[in-house]
Amino acid sequence: MTRELVLYGAVRSSAAWRARIALELKGVSYREIFHDLNKGEQNADSYKRVNPQQLVPSLRTPGGAVLRQSLAIIEYLEETNPEPALLPKDPEQRARVRALAMIVACDIHPVNNLRVRNHVRDAHPDDPRAMAKWIEKWSAAGFDALEALLANSPFTGRFCHGDTPGLADCFLVPQVGNARSMGNGVAAWPVVERIANACAQLPAFRRADPASLVK
């Protein structure tokens, strides 16, 4: 039985990246076990026993329980380490922040993650642009929604909600990272881009960035 938090992650997983940002913002001690997704290390039997979905991230708690799904992991961190808070106090505002996160978690990322990208590539062997077009289509729809909700809300500040980083920023930043590495970037969505750039100034976000992890 370990007393530390263990993140089962991957350098190139944006879902693990979200959890890493939350851990860094909370300032809690943790250790990350990295899986090379391109080598399929998440498909090993040893990891299937941790997470039957064979997706990252998972989080092992000090008591030995294994938690799965990035949003559930971050809500757990919020409940067990309340400060600094990643969610506001007001229920309507909490719903706003969670909805911004879920646009990323439900409407952009699942349609564009590794398993779906590979499937789309293999289904269109004659179209080398098939995967890129697929990514751009769903990514753009999601960023359009995020931009509208961020640009038209009095609650948007330096970050997605006010002037301190929170749960929605944990989701926004890795998706912007994906758009920059796999797509056309986010210049078409200026509020999204401004917030991602503000986050990049903070040490917690810099420590969680895949660029900091590649040796």
Applying CB under 8 A, which residues contact its own copies? 52-53, 55, 61, 63, 65, 67-69, 71-73, 75-76, 79-80, 91-92, 94-96, 98-99, 102-103, 105-107, 109-111, 115-116, 119, 123-124, 137-138, 141, 144-145, 148-149, 152
Structure tokens at 95: 């719903």
Select from 181, 9, 19 the least CA-distant residue to 86: 19
> Cα(30)–Cα(102) distance, rounded to whole angstroms?
25
Q: Which is nearer to its own copies, 7 or 202 (CB)?
A: 7
**Smallest distance from its own copies to CB 29, Å:** 18
Q: How far is the CB of 11 from its own copies (least distance, A)?
A: 21
Q: How far is the CB of 201 from its own copies (least distance, A)?
A: 28
Q: 68 Cβ partners below 8 Å, 6+ apart? A: 51, 53, 55, 57, 58, 59
Residue 86 CA to residue 25 CA, distance in Å, equals 8
Kindly state the smallest distance separating residue 212's Cβ from its own copies, in Å. Answer: 26
Q: Which is nearer to its own copies, 1 or 214 (CB)?
A: 1
Tokens of 160: 């997605």
Q: Give the whole-angstrom CA distance, residue 156 versus residue 140.
A: 20
